Structure 1
Amino acid sequence: MLRLEGITKQIQGQTLFENVDLTLVAGDRLGVIGVNGCGKSTFLKVIAGQVEPDKGSIWVAEGYRVGYLPQAPQVDGNLSVADAVYQSQAEVLTLWHEYEKVAEVGQDMRRLGELQHSLESAGFFELQVRADIAMTQLGLGPLRDVPIDKLSGGQRRRVALAQALTRQPDVLLLDEPTNHLDTDSIDWLEGYLRGYAGAVVMVTHDRYFLDRITSRTLEIEDAQVTCYQGNYARYLEKKSELQALAEASEAKRANLWRRELEWLRRGPRARATKQKARIERAYELQPEYQKKQDGLEIGLGSARLGKKVLDAEGISKSFGSKRLFEKFDLSLAPGERLGIVGSNGSGKTTLLEVLSGRLQPDAGTVEMGTTVKLGYFDQENRELDPNMKVIDALREVAESIPLANGEVLTASQMLERFLFSGRLQHTLVGRLSGGERRRLYLLQVLMGNPNVLFLDEPSNDLDIPTLSCLEDYLDQYPGSLLISSHDRYLLDRCVEQLLAFEGGPQPRRVMGGYSDYAQDKPAPVTAAKKTAAAAPVVVDNAPVRARKLSFKEKRELESLEVSIARAETRQVELEEVLSTQATNYSAVRAAHEELEKLKSDLETQMERWAELAELAD
């Protein structure tokens, strides 16, 4: 058990949260939400013991272990990926390295037995299974022997996530765990966390992820922390109910304000001292009513966009021996909305860069229409002057953007729409949180009033309220849109078609959003299909008599097909065990060992099947 009592935290004179009471027990699934800069990450750091609260106390049961994945984890650059993940049990890792050396020499069997006993007692082999599963499912399998120093920032973050999962602490704190994960890894992580034995506290912008895992939602808003029972959908229902009550109260307030205002306009009597209270009351009501009026929906305008937006013909791009796409054609029409999905490293960002002209294709051409005004929101934050005020940083791009009704939306109104309050608008950029700077960069792109918009992983480092604002904005956006994202909710909400990188020479175009695609997504290519596809076709012009299958070989082929089908079914069952019973060490270890042997046997059967199938043809 872990308990917070009366926790308060301030930073630079601003109260982030105060008087927070919270108890965590095994099986808890807590989602923490709120706008960027409200204190979500600081809240996790306080629980993790990395930041001291200004008031209050934290009690942790004896022997209780707390694990923490920060947004910017530090991993020893001298270690390999595998050693970094195993380092969650550093003492055991030292024993393992000694075991490997003794086993390699093969002379001191007594010492080898002692080391094996020590490793078993310390649970190292269960740790090894957990680590191997985490690395495989997070796309780190091929990188296990690569030094951390050679990895990208996203890969390092996945190593830190695998490290945190392998530790299996009693309380697992995750700050944006889905950043830099592809959709397959996110699906696996969902299943893993649902079956996690300990308590999980997470900050995430991924609403599907939040909805499918959490049992409580903790909202930080205006320094107040409110805990709602249920998942994210239940939180939204409760907030809607509270909003309805607030709006009913606001309607009464608005009617009262109109009556007071009408009374004020009657003239001289308003100046009487005895009426001073009514005058002050009317002016107090006015800002609240006006604030509600400012939130009304507006229609966006944009620069005129001609019939031709973008045409790509036969484009190809490779890096070294890795082909990302080849002879790919794409046409983007006015107002069209496309999403891009695929595993990490499949080529999503590269495709955007080639289409935008930032990167030249190896072959093919890309042509943009003459009326195109491109806005590109990439994964690298633009350098912002830390000594400039937020409002001035946006006004540098434009003072206003046009609306469909001929009016304009000013820079200040745009900031307000994206949750920068009046006070925050006059704050120095250098004092913003990382998420707030990311939000400001997004606004700079939008304030350029583009009629074609490229968004590369826009949900990274943005909070849920900001994503909701962006989605509302995109609902009214009249231009063409191309989004690369792992955020399934965002794709469902904002796009009409997908480009899916599935390992072929070109991404496949699919109608609908992500959920439509996930239902019909092709199954992973099995070893049989890979072997059959890889079987060489030999052309020989000499007249030869084709050898046919013998009766015995026909029976063997039939038997292999049945055996392979059973093995593939069993493979799916074992993978399901690894996904859903991650905390059952004995079951996971047995399933892992059986799966490795099954894959080896299956590969042998496939090779023989390919030989016989070729003769049968």
Structure 2
Amino acid sequence: MNYVTAEHLSKSYGLKVLFEDISFNINEGEKIAIVAKNGSGKSTLLKILMGKEIADQGSVLINKDIQVVLFDQEISFDPNLTVEEFMMTLDSAPIVALKNYHLSLTSTDHDFIEKALLEMEAHKAWDLENEMKQILSQLQITDLSVQMGKLSGGQVKRVALAKLLTETRAEHRHVLLIMDEPTNHLDVEMVEWLENYLSKQKITLLLVTHDRYFLDSVCDTIWEMEDAQLYIHKGGYATYLENKMIREENLDATIDKANNLYRKELEWMRRQPKARTTKSKSRIDAFYDTEKVAKTDTRKQSLELDFEMQRLGKKILELKHIDKAYGDNVLLKDFNYQFQRSEKVGIVGKNGAGKSTLLNIIQNLEKADSGTIETGETISFGYFSQKGLAFKEDERVIDFIKEKAEYYPLANGRSLSASQFLRLFLFDDQTQYSPISKLSGGEKRRLHLMYVLYQNPNFLIFDEPTNDLDLPTLTVLENFLLQFQGCLIIVSHDRYFMDRIVDHVLAFEGKGKIKNFVGNFTEYREWKKTQDSETKKLDEAKSKVSVEAISTPSQPKVSKKKLSFKEQRELELLEKEMPELEKKRDLILEALNNETDYDKIAGLSKDLETVSENLETSEMRWLELQEMLES
């Protein structure tokens, strides 16, 4: 089934052409990723498909039987709504049926109750509330009573993502799901869950993402937007790279042929008299077409640069017995680490685990509760934070960079001009002389990144550098960092980026514990999964032994006479009561798993706590009496 047909679309802003005369189809079941440099028109194309913007030329035909759903970077919401109320603002028929069903629970109107039940049945909405809660839980949103205005930016995005996924599940019509950078502000576990969720769901998806592992796992087609054109690649990221290389090689060959022809035709043009015949006019027109191809600039600035930075001394950075906590929330506990020359360290862990706090402590932007930090005299930090770039609205890109320095130093006395360095990071001449305020969000992030590198630090600290960066920029950055001779710390949830760059991982595992792991991120994840599996098996074995010991207590020995009559009676009662408490606990757990009413869940949770405490007390007393028997 065809969802979308677009023909001959063109869109420009002033002199900047985003795309020109592009055509495409989206069919049911396709999962498409868009890859392009920031500012190439990815978000504009999505808005045109959503009807939020209009193309300058061309047409978009959307099948009347489908619904288009967008997960955007900008999220609008009423800050006074609770999370649950925000989730229920969906206007799809199954959600409306669910809301009416909740109202019917306190209604005495039999006709309304009957209608609500029929709606629930008609829209198959019985399991929808459980699915909604499960999605929120996977995205670490557990308190549904908190107001949206009190959530962090990352939490708001996760709630909005949960709402969108619920809407997609609730709609039994055909849905085109459009997602713009869905993995930003998600930790690795959430990204992997979303990756698995989208890859298994039978949905039609159009996706903008910089996460290459995510892209490869979820999508089967890549749209490449470059030079105002759209190139379609069937396959994953590797296929796209191979096709792109072949296309560029073919283009270079075409340009070489055009250059040879251009030289001959130029000589002919110069010999022509001013009065030209109709026959020569067609050749003249062909000359200008050849000239356009011949002058196509496909040069890529090489990143094989010999950097000249301030040398690192013998002492670089050493942290000794660092502690940091906020109340009962322990982030760092007796943390020790000594950085070595040219070391590239990746820091990973859940949101709020203390990763950014450690970066601040290292740079003396925040004080540790205890411990010492020794920083070498030659260290020059370069910090790329999540706060963004401070700039004057009307300041041009090139002037902003030149304020720092006119040239970037290379070895042997050579240098790159500010303009050449900007070109390294994909800022063409036109963009360099544009006001910073005219840049897209991704282009501003790229400029911020380039500004940090241009200061020529010898110790780089990156806090989530890949958020909102496009894949071409990430490739440039990775090549730069692979040649970087200084020290590097990266906090990132981008698994591909971390695998390519880091050789050492510091993993925040909670309660101040930090695992020091030698290897890349994927190697750490595999090690962690193995450790978790072994721990789980060990816990299950211990639990099994404990259950067997309780359910089949050893036969009374002669030494049982050491127990008083009262103690003997107590032991016999415990052996009868414990199985009953276990059975009661299991029944409560089963009821909790099937319950959706919040008040009932709260009551059952309280009962479970009471029963569990009684069972634990009984087991401890039973063990004490057994020890008295065996002594």
SS in 1 for 2:509: coil
The structure whose Rg is larger is 2
1:382 aligns with 2:389: yes
SS in 1 for 2:89: helix
1:121 aligns with 2:128: no
Name the CA distance, whole Å, in 1 between partners of 2:616 and 2:242. Answer: 57
8 A contact 2:323–2:335 mirrored in 1: yes
8 A contact 1:31–1:214 mirrored in 2: yes
Deviates more, 1:315-324 or 1:207-216: 315-324
Residue in structure 2 matched with residue 182 of structure 1 by the alignment: 187
Amino acid in the other structure paired with 2:449? L
Q: Deviations over 1:498-517 (max 9, x none)?
A: 11112242211111111111
Residue in structure 2 matched with residue 447 of structure 1 by the alignment: 454
Q: Deviations over 1:460-488 (max 9, x none)?
A: 11100001111011011110000000000
Residue in structure 2 matched with residue 88 of structure 1 by the alignment: 90
8 A contact 1:174–1:203 mirrored in 2: yes
Residue in structure 1 matched with residue 494 of structure 2 by the alignment: 487
Amino acid in the other structure paired with 1:219? E
8 A contact 2:303–2:480 mirrored in 1: no
Give the 3 Å change call, closer, same or farther, for CA 381–551 of structure 1 in structure 2: closer
SS in 1 for 2:553: helix
Name the CA distance, whole Å, in 1 between partners of 2:108 and 2:271. Answer: 103
Give the 3 Å change call, closer, same or farther, for CA 52–611 of structure 1 in structure 2: farther
Name the CA distance, whole Å, in 2 between partners of 1:15 and 1:131. Answer: 42
Name the CA distance, whole Å, in 2 between partners of 1:493 and 1:322. Answer: 33
SS in 1 for 2:90: helix
Give the 3 Å change call, closer, same or farther, for CA 114–229 of structure 1 in structure 2: same
8 A contact 1:75–1:160 mirrored in 2: no
Name the CA distance, whole Å, in 1 between partners of 2:328 and 2:38. Answer: 41
Amino acid in the other structure paired with 1:163? K
Name the CA distance, whole Å, in 2 between partners of 1:106 and 1:608. Answer: 43
Residue in structure 1 matched with residue 572 of structure 2 by the alignment: none
Matches within 5 A, 1:316-465: 316-465=323-472
Query: Greater RCO between the two (CA within 8 Å, min separation 6)?
Result: 1
Name the CA distance, whole Å, in 2 between partners of 1:110 and 1:614. Answer: 59
1:478 aligns with 2:480: no
Q: Choose which of 53, 61, 64 in structure 1 pairs with 2:63.
A: 61
Q: Choose which of 294, 308, 314 in structure 2 pairs with 1:307.
A: 314
Amino acid in the other structure paired with 2:150? K
Structure 1 residue 33: Cα displacement: 0.7
SS in 2 for 1:88: coil
Residue in structure 2 matched with residue 20 of structure 1 by the alignment: 22
Residue in structure 1 matched with residue 203 of structure 2 by the alignment: 198
Matches within 5 A, 1:234-273: 234-247=239-252
1:156 aligns with 2:156: yes
Structure 1 residue 490: Cα displacement: 0.7
Matches within 5 A, 1:213-232: 213-232=218-237
8 A contact 1:454–1:482 mirrored in 2: yes
Residue in structure 2 matched with residue 45 of structure 1 by the alignment: 47
8 A contact 2:48–2:55 mirrored in 1: yes
Structure 1 residue 56: Cα displacement: 1.9
Q: Deviations over 1:373-418 (max 9, x none)?
A: 0000001112211211101111112222222343112211110000
Amino acid in the other structure paired with 2:165? L
Give the 3 Å change call, closer, same or farther, for CA 62–300 of structure 1 in structure 2: same
Name the CA distance, whole Å, in 2 between partners of 1:23 and 1:394. Answer: 42
8 A contact 2:344–2:501 mirrored in 1: yes
Give the 3 Å change call, closer, same or farther, for CA 529–183 of structure 1 in structure 2: same
Give the 3 Å change call, closer, same or farther, for CA 480–70 of structure 1 in structure 2: same
Cα RMSD between the aligned structures?
4.1
Q: Deviations over 1:158-209 (max 9, x none)?
A: 1111111111161000000000000111111111111222210000111111
Amino acid in the other structure paired with 1:149? G
Name the CA distance, whole Å, in 2 between partners of 1:218 and 1:96. Answer: 38
Amino acid in the other structure paired with 2:162? A
Q: Give the count of matched residue pairs.
A: 552
SS in 1 for 2:52: coil
Give the 3 Å change call, closer, same or farther, for CA 614–496 of structure 1 in structure 2: farther
Q: Choose which of 32, 35, 56 in structure 2 pairs with 1:33.
A: 35
SS in 2 for 1:352: helix
Q: Choose which of 208, 216, 219 in structure 2 pairs with 1:211.
A: 216
Structure 1 residue 122: Cα displacement: 3.2
Give the 3 Å change call, closer, same or farther, for CA 248–106 of structure 1 in structure 2: closer
Q: Deviations over 1:308-361 (max 9, x none)?
A: 121112222223332222221122122111001111121111111111211111
Name the CA distance, whole Å, in 2 between partners of 1:11 and 1:606. Answer: 71
8 A contact 2:92–2:167 mirrored in 1: no
Structure 1 residue 123: Cα displacement: 3.4
Structure 1 residue 527: Cα displacement: 12
8 A contact 2:330–2:511 mirrored in 1: no
SS in 2 for 1:502: strand
Residue in structure 2 matched with residue 146 of structure 1 by the alignment: 146
SS in 1 for 2:66: coil
Matches within 5 A, 1:68-83: 68-83=70-85
Give the 3 Å change call, closer, same or farther, for CA 294–102 of structure 1 in structure 2: closer
Amino acid in the other structure paired with 1:447? Y
Structure 1 residue 610: Cα displacement: 11
SS in 1 for 2:248: helix
Q: Deviations over 1:488-547 (max 9, x none)?
A: 0110011001111122422111111111112111438869959x99xxxxxxxxxxxxxx
Residue in structure 2 matched with residue 137 of structure 1 by the alignment: 138
Residue in structure 2 matched with residue 516 of structure 1 by the alignment: 523
- Runs (5+) with no aligned partner, structure 2: 274-283, 556-574, 591-600
Amino acid in the other structure paired with 1:130? E
Name the CA distance, whole Å, in 1 between partners of 2:157 and 2:73. Answer: 8
Name the CA distance, whole Å, in 2 between partners of 1:419 and 1:440. Answer: 10
Name the CA distance, whole Å, in 1 between partners of 2:400 and 2:131. Answer: 47
SS in 2 for 1:501: strand
Structure 1 residue 94: Cα displacement: 6.0
Amino acid in the other structure paired with 1:84? F
Amino acid in the other structure paired with 1:192? Y
Name the CA distance, whole Å, in 1 between partners of 2:538 and 2:612. Answer: 10
- Runs (5+) with no aligned partner, structure 1: 261-269, 534-547, 572-592
TM-score (norm. length: structure 1): 0.80
8 A contact 1:492–1:515 mirrored in 2: yes
Give the 3 Å change call, closer, same or farther, for CA 247–607 of structure 1 in structure 2: farther
Structure 1 residue 38: Cα displacement: 0.3
Matches within 5 A, 1:268-287: none
8 A contact 2:93–2:123 mirrored in 1: no
Structure 1 residue 229: Cα displacement: 1.1
Structure 1 residue 246: Cα displacement: 4.1
Name the CA distance, whole Å, in 2 between partners of 1:450 and 1:359. Answer: 21
Name the CA distance, whole Å, in 2 between partners of 1:163 and 1:148. Answer: 13
Name the CA distance, whole Å, in 1 between partners of 2:272 and 2:425. Answer: 39
TM-score (norm. length: structure 2): 0.78
Deviates more, 1:386-395 or 1:347-356: 347-356
Structure 1 residue 53: Cα displacement: 1.7
Name the CA distance, whole Å, in 1 between partners of 2:4 and 2:255. Answer: 40
Name the CA distance, whole Å, in 1 between partners of 2:618 and 2:453. Answer: 54
Name the CA distance, whole Å, in 2 between partners of 1:554 and 1:56. Answer: 84
8 A contact 2:255–2:294 mirrored in 1: no
